[in-house]
């Protein structure tokens, strides 16, 4: 019952706040409750109850003034605040902020939510005081949210209702170990309030159908950052992931990719040295090459200057085989111009993150 009143209080506060500004058209407030999804054996002891929380979204409606508004059936975009209590003394609570999109289908009755941000963990791993928390090795972590809900925009005057499911993911991308990360699936139920009673979508009568297919383009990208190998306390080292790929835009929203990349991950070099000494029976030489070469295919979902990128690859050269040979990458890309782009991605081996990558690239 206390959580129910918390949601009502937050909803009332946000309505009062939003009515004083014109940068927000709609506010959503949701109560969340569900379960964690342990994906490694050392996660089961951390799950003691049903995680719950509150999510508040501050949204701007698209009005049709730009081409991408109509192309994506007038989505909402904005920022979010997410509070999540894992009902675990080891995991504690997380507070997250970030950016999100709401996409609509089935006459705007089905809402697909996609959000990405950063979170503050109240109880990360500590060798002395919280050694059980293998999920979060640092206080600042990344947060990803994906949701699907039934949405009624105007159930009563300006008040709407939504209900569905929300998946949340937390990980620091192994910037610091340990970093098993954690996933939860949560019932998402709440209210939304439309602040702009006079909102009208514009119809672009001058719009001309355009052929977005284009010749093959070639991309060079450097992704870098720091990470730590799975051994806690082994130290953080820089990595350099150098890629070359071709992309082919096939329509307004999609571009396909095919490429190769070289991974220079210095923390793996340290991991090889550790492994050769700690496990001599494995027969791994400390001179084993730490470098890896991968080939990958990918898809880019083009929104405007922002696009969402997903890739899956295979190591064709991997002398040190402690990771599976298949890797994947998801993230966001921003085009500064037709030729230059930057991005933020997370590289994983299935559910186990290896690196948070900050990239810069050139496209010809």
Tens-digit pLDDT profile for residues 80-99: 999 999 998 889 999 999 99
- For residue 38, what are the CA distances in angstroms to 123, 307, 351? 18, 30, 10
Query: In sequence order, which ranges of 173-296 are alpha helices (DSSP H)?
Result: 266-278
How much is the pLDDT for 65? 86
Looking from the CA of 179 toward its CB, the CA atoms found within 13 Å total 29
Mean pLDDT of 27-45: 84
How much is the pLDDT for 49? 84
Contact between residue 152 and residue 162 where contact means Cβ atoms under 8 Å apart: yes
| Residues above pLDDT 70, as percent of the chain | 91
How much is the pLDDT for 196? 78
pLDDT at 8 over 50: no
Mean pLDDT of 98-127: 95
Q: Which residues have C-beta within 8 Å of that of residue 243, sequence separation ≥ 6?
A: 219, 220, 221, 222, 223, 259, 260, 261, 262
Q: Name the average pLDDT for the chain.
A: 89
pLDDT at 111 over 80: yes
Helix (H) or strand (E) segment spanning residue 3: helix 2-18
Contact between residue 308 and residue 332 where contact means Cβ atoms under 8 Å apart: yes
Helix (H) or strand (E) segment spanning residue 328: strand 326-335
Look up residue 273 and give its DSSP letter. Answer: H
Positive or negative: CA dihedral 60, 63, 64, 66: negative
More confident position, 272 or 42: 272
Mean pLDDT of 288-313: 97
- Please choose, from the candidates 11, 38, 168, 50, the residue with its C-alpha nearest in 3D space to the C-alpha of residue 98: 168
More confident position, 316 or 88: 316
Q: How far apart are CA 87 and CA 305, in angstroms?
A: 40
Mean pLDDT of 87-114: 94
More confident position, 317 or 282: 317
How much is the pLDDT for 125? 93
How much is the pLDDT for 211? 82
Mean pLDDT of 124-138: 90
How much is the pLDDT for 218? 98
pTM value is 0.86
Instruction: Band the pLDDT of 204: cuts 50, 70, 90.
Output: low
SS (H, E, C) 176-197: CCCCCCEEEEEEEEEEEEECCC
Instruction: Band the pLDDT of 6: cuts 50, 70, 90.
Output: very low
Contact between residue 157 and residue 112 where contact means Cβ atoms under 8 Å apart: no
């Amino acid at each position: 019952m206390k959580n129910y009143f918390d949601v009502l209080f937050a909803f009332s506060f946000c309505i009062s706040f939003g009515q004083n500004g014109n940068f927000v058209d709609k506010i959503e407030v949701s109560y969340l409750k569900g379960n964690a999804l342990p994906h490694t054996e050392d996660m089961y002891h951390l799950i003691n109850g049903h995680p719950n929380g509150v999510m508040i979204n501050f949204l701007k409606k698209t009005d049709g003034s730009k081409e991408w508004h109509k192309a994506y059936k007038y989505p909402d975009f904005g920022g979010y605040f997410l509070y999540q209590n894992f009902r675990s003394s080891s995991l504690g609570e997380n507070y997250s902020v970030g950016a999100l999109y709401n996409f609509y289908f089935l006459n705007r009755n089905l809402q697909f939510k996609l959000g990405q941000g950063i979170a503050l963990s109240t109880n990360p791993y500590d060798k002395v005081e919280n050694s059980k928390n293998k999920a979060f090795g640092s206080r600042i972590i990344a947060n990803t949210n994906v949701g699907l809900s039934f949405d009624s925009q105007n159930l009563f005057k300006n008040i709407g209702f939504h209900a569905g499911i929300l998946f949340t993911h937390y990980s620091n991308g192994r910037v610091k170990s340990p970093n098993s990360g954690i996933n939860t699936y949560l019932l998402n139920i709440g209210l939304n309030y439309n602040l702009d009673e006079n909102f009208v979508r514009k119809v672009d009568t001058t719009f001309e159908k355009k052929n977005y297919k284009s010749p093959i383009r070639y991309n060079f990208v450097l992704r870098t950052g720091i990470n730590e190998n799975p051994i806690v306390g082994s130290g953080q080292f820089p990595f350099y992931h150098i890629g070359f790929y071709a992309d082919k835009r096939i329509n307004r929203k999609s571009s396909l990719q095919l490429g190769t990349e070289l991974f220079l991950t210095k923390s793996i070099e340290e991991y090889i040295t550790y492994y050769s000494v700690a496990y001599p029976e494995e027969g791994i030489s400390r001179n084993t090459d730490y470098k890896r070469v991968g080939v990958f295919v990918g898809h880019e979902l083009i929104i405007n200057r922002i696009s969402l990128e997903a890739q899956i690859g295979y190591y064709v050269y991997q002398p040190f085989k402690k990771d599976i040979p298949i890797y994947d990458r998801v993230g966001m890309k921003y085009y500064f111009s037709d030729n230059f782009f930057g991005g933020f991605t997370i590289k994983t081996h299935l559910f186990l993150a290896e690196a948070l990558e900050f990239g810069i690239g050139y496209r010809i």
